[in-house]
Amino acid sequence: ARGPATLIPVFRSHSPRSHTMPQVTDSYVFWTHKGGVGKTTLCMHTALTYAELNPKQHVIVIDLDEQANLSSTLCTELGNVFESHARQPKNGLEQVTAMQGTFVDNSGAYSRTLCGMLLAGEKNMYYRCKHSANSMQQQIGESAFLINPKKEGINDNLPENVHLLCGDRRIAGLSAHFVQKCAHPDALEAQGMGSIEAEWKTTHLLLKDWVTAVATELPSNGFDGVTVFIDCNPSMNFFTELGMCTAKKLVVPVNADDFSLAAVKNMFYSIYGMYQVGGNMAAYEKKMFHSVAKGDATKVELPKVHAIIHNRSSMWGKKQATCFAAMSKEQANVMYKAYDDARKGEGGVPPGSHRNIFNHAQLHGGAEPSTAEEFADAFTGVMRDMGSTAVVTVHSGIGLWLVKRNKKNVKSILPDAKVSSSAASSLADLIGPARQSLRADPEDEDNPGDHRNGRDLYLVELLQGRQVGDEVRENIWREASQGANELGWTNKRRRQAVEDDDVAP
């Protein structure tokens, strides 16, 4: 069985599609029913690294948290870190605040933020915005609300294929409005708007409909699709519900603590309606998100659990520290119990519900897990603690790969911080297939035990399990040799690594 460190990549690159217009090829929502697990940081680095590894994908990052921390980080002004004298970072919060006063049309009603997008979507105003844009720079239609930090000169260190739907602290003021609109029939009459169920569905699909429309407006030349990453508030509020109604896959970051264990249990209750209390709570539970979402009049498709990421794990080499591994095992047991209960029709859901709750594409046609260990192999991953590296990257608004490629200039941003590139390797294991340039240096001062071997090479990972001809095999060897030279490998070890029996059948 595979261990967590050799997990089949959680976030897969996509083969080119035949259509001429980009479509949404994948969408991930990051959510845990508690704060402080590193969810926003993980979402940020996953999205940026995915964008770097997949330059033919438009990557849309959506910030649904009223604190807008993800937006502030991506909008940090720094200057190119490859320049010898990169200036000190300028906090992106000022840029986010400025976006609240930047509008997509002459009416001044719809700002280039999540708040403006929701208000325009609610009133179906995209068409009018399209014909009253202030300038050509402010695009037309739904995509007018997107920011491209790289192309707009905000953050020079992001890939050009990264687009941001900027967070907005003012969404807290919109919450009561949307909650009232979506109130259950027992609490609010339709008032001539049609059924409340229809209003609930229309409102909860505002973000999904917007994403679908944006995909058709983004440039198609050189791109083959759109991948979406969504960061949510840790609470189960209306905006978290928007994320759940938009994404196809749910990524659950957890820490090695009992609070994360409780959060995992609550997730199955809040989103999928498992383990309901019943009794005198039954009438109230019928009005909760999970009940309305799967009602006959709504039937909104919810994301499937795609991966549980043991975040901020202390590592030695490629293994978790003992106490972290023990807690990860306990969390896997809880997740597997929910999986098995859903399969058997226990926990208040029909038999076979595990296929509606968990993403079985992770199994790649293999047998369903029958033990907690097999479940962990298929559905969990490990992300090492980024330590000071996380502080520097978030402070500077840069991706982890820049730490690897230009550690000297990155360290100059916070001179006293100890910056390691090993976190880039850990993230690359999750995203995969990962380029050699994103791999950690075996001489990394923070990670002396992490000596990688040939099985970790990018092209070996990419082609593993496929038929590989002699010409392709030679290209693999050539690519691996280039990376191996940087690591000081001998010719014999290079050749042996690439010609390993596991490369291809």
Determine the pLDDT at residue 453.
31
Beta bridge partners of 308: 252, 380
- Could you tell me the pLDDT band of residue 500, with boundaries at 50, 70 and 90? very low
For domain 4-67+169-384, give the fold: Rossmann fold (3.40.50)
Q: Are 161 and 55 in contact (CB under 8 A)?
A: yes
pLDDT at 481 over 80: no
Instruction: Classify residue 363 by its DSSP letter.
Output: G
Q: Which residue from 215, 251, 248, 243 is spatially nearest to 58, judged by alpha carbons?
A: 215
| CATH 3.40.50 domain extents, the chain | 4-67+169-384
The winner for highest mean pLDDT among 70-74, 381-385, 438-442 is 70-74
Q: What percentage of the chain carries pLDDT values higher than 90?
A: 28
> In this structure, are residues 428 and 438 in contact, taking their beta carbons and an 8 Å threshold?
yes
Rounded distance between C-alpha atoms, residue 70 and residue 232, angstroms: 10
Query: Could you tell me the two tokens for 281?
Result: 């709570």
**CA–CA separation, 327 and 186 (whole Å):** 43
Q: pTM of the full predicted structure?
A: 0.76
Task: Report the distance separating Cα 478 and Cα 159, nearest Å.
Answer: 27
Residue 388 has pLDDT above 80, yes or no: no
Could you tell me the two tokens for 126? 């995209």
Both tokens of residue 359? 């993403």
What is the C-alpha to C-alpha distance for residues 330 and 323, in angstroms, rounded to an integer?
Answer: 11
Strand partners, 305: 250, 358
- Strand pairing partners for 384? 313
Mean pLDDT of 290-306: 86
- In 3D, which of 486, 475, 481 has the Cα closest to residue 497? 481
Asked whether 23 and 17 are in contact (CB, 8 A), the reply is: yes
Phi then psi dihedrals of residue 116, to 5 deg: -65, -40
| Residue pLDDT, tens place only, 148-183 | 999 999 998 899 999 999 999 999 888 888 888 777
Q: What is the pLDDT of residues 187-196, one digit of tens each?
A: 444 444 446 7
**Mean of the per-residue pLDDT values of the chain:** 73
